[in-house]
Amino acid sequence: MKPLNLYVLLGVAVGVSACQSTMPRYEREFGESVRNTLQAQIIHPAAANNPDPVNGLDGRAARDSINSYQKSFSKPVPQPSVFNFGVGGTGSNNGTGNQ
């Protein structure tokens, strides 16, 4: 066999092997664990098919609940001061217990 034919044959073999997928199984299953984990977090997968999903809550109670929830954000509850070291004392006793 001539060296030129050998180089051409070797070049074609390398070129064809470069097109071969090195990890076909991994590429096919890429992201499968994430999809499985998301599906496992759904409590009732067929819940979207329920035409009457709300039971036991009338309109007035729902409205009042939503209004009180929204009002809770309109005026925040004041937080007590945490950093009050040395504040509010009448004097210093230098550790003697007497003032």
Please give the Cα distance from 97 to 99 (Å, whole number).
7
Q: Report the alpha-carbon angle 21-22-23, nearest 5.
A: 100
CA separation (Å) from 27 to 10, 31, 34, 39, 61? 28, 9, 14, 20, 52
Question: 18-38 burial, b if ≥16 CB within 10 A, otherwise e?
Answer: eeeeeeeeeeeeeeeeeeeee
pLDDT of residue 20: 65
Mean pLDDT confidence for 34-50: 88
pLDDT of residue 94: 57
When pLDDT is cut at 50, 70 and 90, the band that residue 91 belongs to is low
Mean pLDDT confidence for 81-91: 64
Which tens digits make up the pLDDT trace of 45-81?
Answer: 888 888 876 677 788 998 999 999 998 888 777 777 7
Yes or no: say if 82 and 88 are a contact pair by the CB < 8 Å rule. Answer: no
